[in-house]
């Protein structure tokens, strides 16, 4: 079952399912996709840049970028259809981040994990102290 959400495009309430926009916008997006796809399929447009495709089809660059990210448009076949890395804006062909940022992010994540481990160790120490405390209490009762 889908949940109710506001369409990020037009703000209309819709049931969020396999699509991330409302039915009306989805239909519009599909029409735009066809337009873009028919455009880049033409041999003379194979080398078109993002700007040229956007202008030639009257479709927002952000949409074309979305399809590239979703791999609905295969960037490999259209070498000039690049888009900006989400972090630094460097032109990339696939994924969300350029190689540099992806590496950087990996380092950040392992740092997070290290911090988590320290927090977990502290928690374990506290748990152990708790156990000792309980044992002491029991001994007192026994005596």
Identify whether the C-beta of residue 23 lies closer than 8 Å to the C-beta of residue 30: no
Q: Taken in order 56, 59, 60, 66, is the CA torsion positive or negative?
A: negative
Q: Which of 22, 40, 68, 81 binds Zn ion (CB under 5 A)?
A: 22
| Residue with smaller CB distance to Zn ion, 23 or 41 | 23
Interacting positions 1-20 with Zn ion (CB under 5 A): 7, 9-10, 12
Which of 48, 53, 81, 85: binder of Zn ion (CB under 5 A)? 85
Say how far apart CA 21 and CA 27 lie, in whole Å: 10
**Which range, of 30-38, 43-51, 64-72, 95-103, touches Zn ion by CB under 5 A?**
95-103
**135 is a contact residue toward Zn ion (CB under 5 A):** no
Q: What residues contact 22, with CB distance under 8 A and at least 6 apart?
A: 7, 9, 10, 12, 13, 14
Q: How distant, in Å, are the alpha carbons of 17, 25, 30, 49, 81 from that of 78?
A: 30, 26, 20, 9, 6
> Is residue 25 part of the contact set for Zn ion (CB under 5 A)?
yes
Q: Give the one residue of 15, 47, 88, 121 binding Zn ion; rule: CB under 5 A.
A: 88
At closest approach, how far in Å is the CB of 88 from Zn ion?
Answer: 3
Size of the site for Zn ion (CB under 5 A): 12
Phi then psi for residue 21, to 5 deg, are: -130, 170
Which residue of 16, 35, 61, 87 would you call a contact of Zn ion, by CB under 5 A?
Answer: 87
Sites of contact with Zn ion (CB under 5 A): 7, 9-10, 12, 22, 25, 85, 87-88, 90, 98, 101
């Amino acid at each position: 079952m889908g949940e109710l959400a506001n369409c990020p495009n037009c703000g209309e309430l819709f049931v969020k399912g396999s699509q991330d926009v409302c039915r009306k916008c989805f239909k519009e997006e599909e029409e735009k996709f066809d337009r873009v796809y028919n455009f880049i399929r033409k041999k003379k447009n194979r080398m078109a840049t993002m700007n040229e495709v956007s202008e030639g089809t009257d479709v927002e660059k952000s949409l074309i970028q979305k399809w590239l990210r979703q791999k609905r448009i295969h960037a490999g076949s259209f070498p000039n259809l690049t888009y900006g890395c989400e972090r630094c804006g460097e032109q990339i062909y696939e994924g969300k981040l350029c190689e540099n940022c992806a590496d950087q992010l990996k380092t950040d994540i392992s740092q997070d994990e290290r911090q988590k481990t320290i927090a977990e160790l502290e928690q374990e120490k506290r748990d152990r102290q708790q156990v000792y405390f309980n044992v002491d209490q029991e001994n007192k009762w026994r005596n």
